[in-house]
Homo-oligomer: A and B are copies of this chain.
Amino acid sequence: MDVADRLVFSRSRLRRGDCLYRAGERFSSLYAVRNGFFKSTAMLDNGRDQVTRFSMTGEVLGLDGIGPERHSCNTIAVEDSEVCAIPFAGLQALAQEIPSLQRHFFKMMSREIEREHGVMLQLGSMNAEERLAMFLLDLSQRFAARGYSRSEFNLRMTRADIGSYLGLKLETVSRTFSKFQEQGLIVVQQKWIRIRDSAALKRVMGRERN
């Protein structure tokens, strides 16, 4: 029996600013992003909330909810978007019967651990330029993986969102973009970015620290 026959995939559209799910809500589905762009924010103990990830077409949202059975972050569309909801109960039952699906799942979750881990880890020891360089290269690579241009794209999010994600203030983000532009690494105009010298960006990112 085919997976698609057993699971009901419901699609839904969201407009810019709409919330896909909120922290604390009961977890029931994973979401595949069909198109658009999302940001997830987590409320820290102190009340401020921080952007924890950006998600684009082809990526899966909601894995964080499986353990606690509640969503642990808010996920908001930063532009008009469309998602496909995958009921987790059904997926889990199916994994019980299909070994390869279970394996796939274990792997996907483990990779998730990895990814978050990796990004956040690196940030800790990086200065502003390194963070921004990493951010741009990460976006570039993900756009490329989805068939979009690797060197030219629109940042869908604001400077404040980028800053929150990277642990910088929006002024620093802006200043650093300007600096990169002066150095000829990128061209930036508002949300539009063109990467002119990705090798140099990699060098900025990899600058050794001690």
Query: A residues engaging B (CB < 8 A)?
Result: 42, 44-48, 50, 52, 63-68, 72, 92, 95-96, 99, 102-103, 105-114, 116-118, 120-125, 167, 205-210
Add 7 more A-B contacts to A45-B122, A102-B102 (CB < 8 A). A45-B205, A45-B206, A52-B121, A64-B110, A67-B111, A96-B96, A116-B116
In the complex, the chain B residue whose C-beta lies closest to that of A66 is: B110
Q: Is A106 touching B67 in the complex (CB atoms < 8 A)?
A: yes
B-side contacts of A208, CB under 8 Å: 46-48
Q: How far apart sit A92 and B72, CA to CA, in the bound complex (Å)?
A: 27
Q: How far apart sit A44 and B47, CA to CA, in the bound complex (Å)?
A: 31
B-side contacts of A112, CB under 8 Å: 113
Given the known A-B contacts A111-B67, A113-B64, A113-B112, are A106 and B121 also in contact in the complex, defined by CB atoms under 8 Å? no
Interface of A is mostly: helix
Q: Is A124 touching B113 in the complex (CB atoms < 8 A)?
A: no
**Min C-beta distance of A74 to chain B, whole Å:** 14
B-side contacts of A167, CB under 8 Å: 124-125
Q: Is A50 touching B105 in the complex (CB atoms < 8 A)?
A: no
Q: Which of B46, B107, B124 makes the CB contact (< 8 A) with A66? A: B107
Q: How far apart sit A205 and B44, CA to CA, in the bound complex (Å)?
A: 11
Given the known A-B contacts A45-B206, A48-B210, A96-B99, are A68 and B110 also in contact in the complex, defined by CB atoms under 8 Å? yes
B-side contacts of A63, CB under 8 Å: 110, 113
In the complex, the chain B residue whose C-beta lies closest to that of A166 is: B124
Q: How far apart sit A116 and B67, CA to CA, in the bound complex (Å)?
A: 13
Q: Is A72 touching B114 in the complex (CB atoms < 8 A)?
A: yes
Q: Is B96 touching A102 in the complex (CB atoms < 8 A)?
A: yes
B-side contacts of A92, CB under 8 Å: 102-103, 106
Q: Which of B44, B95, B117, B125 makes the CB contact (< 8 A) with A116? A: B117
B-side contacts of A122, CB under 8 Å: 44-45
B-side contacts of A117, CB under 8 Å: 42, 52, 64, 116, 120
Q: How far apart sit A118 and B116, CA to CA, in the bound complex (Å)?
A: 10
